[in-house]
Structure 1
Amino acid sequence: MIALGTTNPAKIRAVQAVFTTTEIKALSVSSEVSAQPFSDEETVEGAINRARNAKVEANVAIGIGLEGGVVETDRGLLLCNWGALLASDCEPIVAGGLRIPLPEEFVAPLKSGRELGEIIDEYAKKENVRQNEGAIGILTGGYISREQVFTDIVKALIGQYKQLKSCR
């Protein structure tokens, strides 16, 4: 069994797409970071904390955490996504996903403390975008979904894990 530190349906589907024969226990656990992570460092930390908290709560050998955030760059705010895998006696394994710029109109609301999920819902005139196609799905016209981004991250996590023989 693998513990997943979220109950977000898009993230659950991403993990299920990779671990097709393994039971996944999705848990609502704290990321211990801001509701809207605002850097790579904070987003990675949130993913690691979710993986650790899920692993401990479920009392299993492997925990996975997936976290979305934004990062400020010279080109403006970019969407970022990170994942972490924690296994017994191993350092956290991390992987990140693709990035795209966020519309300029998102900057002020994000900097004032609003979450991207709320902003993208208003922008797309939809509800619960974060649980479905995600901001990436809206901003790419459906060419890439949140599930796809997190599926790639989970593949990168398990691929690294399998290469680290000292972790098993």
Structure 2
Amino acid sequence: MKIIVGSKNPVKIEAAREVFSIYFDNPEVESYNAPSGVNAQPVGDETFRGAFNRAFHLFSLFNDKSGKADFYVGIEGGITKLYDKWFAFGCMCILDSKKRDSYGLSPFFELPDSITQKLLDGVELGTVMDELTKRENTKQKEGAIGFFTRGVMNRKELYVEGLKTAIIPFLHEELFFQNK
């Protein structure tokens, strides 16, 4: 079984490897940079488009070639407003070799107004967190969730939960893909 992840970020790659290993024996996971086609800091539905665009880019590159995979994974971090509060979350899109798509979401976590305003001005959450924590490249390590939970949860764990939900339709194809 071959899975291609649309990012070189080790957090996203390892999250995909962990989840696919739960359901399939010895999945081969590869990664390629895939453009999201959305703003650096996606807002709302733009996050879904970014995840889909990453997965579809890989599908377009590899599906009709010898590098064909069983699944193509796009992961995009974004923010959205719910119940008059701003939350960060991850959106996961999985495409299979038949171009059937599925989505999952990570847990949502609330953001303070001071950070949200910077994000709405177009600054990426990873950059804001690097400034706040005075560390480098937090998005390839514990991420914002690691800071806010004081290390109880990290970015990979956040994405693992979203990927577990994104894979559901492929575990129950007869329920989700009857007409596809």
Equivalent residue for 1:103?
A: 112
Question: In structure 2, the residue corresponding to 1:95 is in which secondary structure?
Answer: strand
- Following superposition, the deviation at residue 76 of structure 1 comes to 2.6
- Following superposition, the deviation at residue 73 of structure 1 comes to 3.2
Change (3 A) 1:141 1:62: same
Are 1:157 and 2:166 counterparts? yes
- Following superposition, the deviation at residue 5 of structure 1 comes to 0.7
Question: In structure 2, the residue corresponding to 1:2 is in which secondary structure?
Answer: strand
Equivalent residue for 1:48?
A: 52
Equivalent residue for 1:69?
A: 78
Equivalent residue for 1:83?
A: 92
More displaced, 110-119 or 51-60? 51-60
Q: Distance in 2 between matches of 1:104 and 1:32?
A: 26
Partner AA of 1:34 in structure 2: N
Question: In structure 2, the residue corresponding to 1:141 is in which secondary structure?
Answer: coil
Once the two structures are superposed, what CA deviation does each residue of 1:124-157 show, in whole Å capped at 9, x if it has no partner? 1111110011111111111111101111122222
Tell me if the contact between 2:35 and 2:54 (Cα under 8 Å) persists in the aligned partners: yes
Q: Distance in 1 between matches of 2:133 and 2:112?
A: 12
TM-score using structure 1 length: 0.91
Equivalent residue for 2:43?
A: 38
Question: In structure 1, the residue corresponding to 2:150 is in which secondary structure?
Answer: coil
Equivalent residue for 1:17?
A: 18
Q: Distance in 2 between matches of 1:95 and 1:84?
A: 7
Identical positions, percent: 31
RMSD: 1.7
Tell me if the contact between 1:3 and 1:58 (Cα under 8 Å) persists in the aligned partners: no
Tell me if the contact between 2:12 and 2:159 (Cα under 8 Å) persists in the aligned partners: yes
5+ long unaligned stretches in structure 2: none
Equivalent residue for 1:124?
A: 133
Question: In structure 2, the residue corresponding to 1:10 is in which secondary structure?
Answer: helix
Change (3 A) 1:84 1:123: same
Partner AA of 1:27 in structure 2: Y
Q: Distance in 1 between matches of 2:140 and 2:36?
A: 17
Question: In structure 2, the residue corresponding to 1:106 is in which secondary structure?
Answer: helix
Q: Distance in 2 between matches of 1:130 and 1:75?
A: 26
- Following superposition, the deviation at residue 101 of structure 1 comes to 1.0
Aligned pair count reads 167
More displaced, 57-66 or 142-151? 57-66
More displaced, 152-161 or 94-103? 152-161
Question: In structure 2, the residue corresponding to 1:33 is in which secondary structure?
Answer: coil
- Following superposition, the deviation at residue 77 of structure 1 comes to 1.7
Q: Distance in 2 between matches of 1:155 and 1:111?
A: 29
- Following superposition, the deviation at residue 44 of structure 1 comes to 0.8
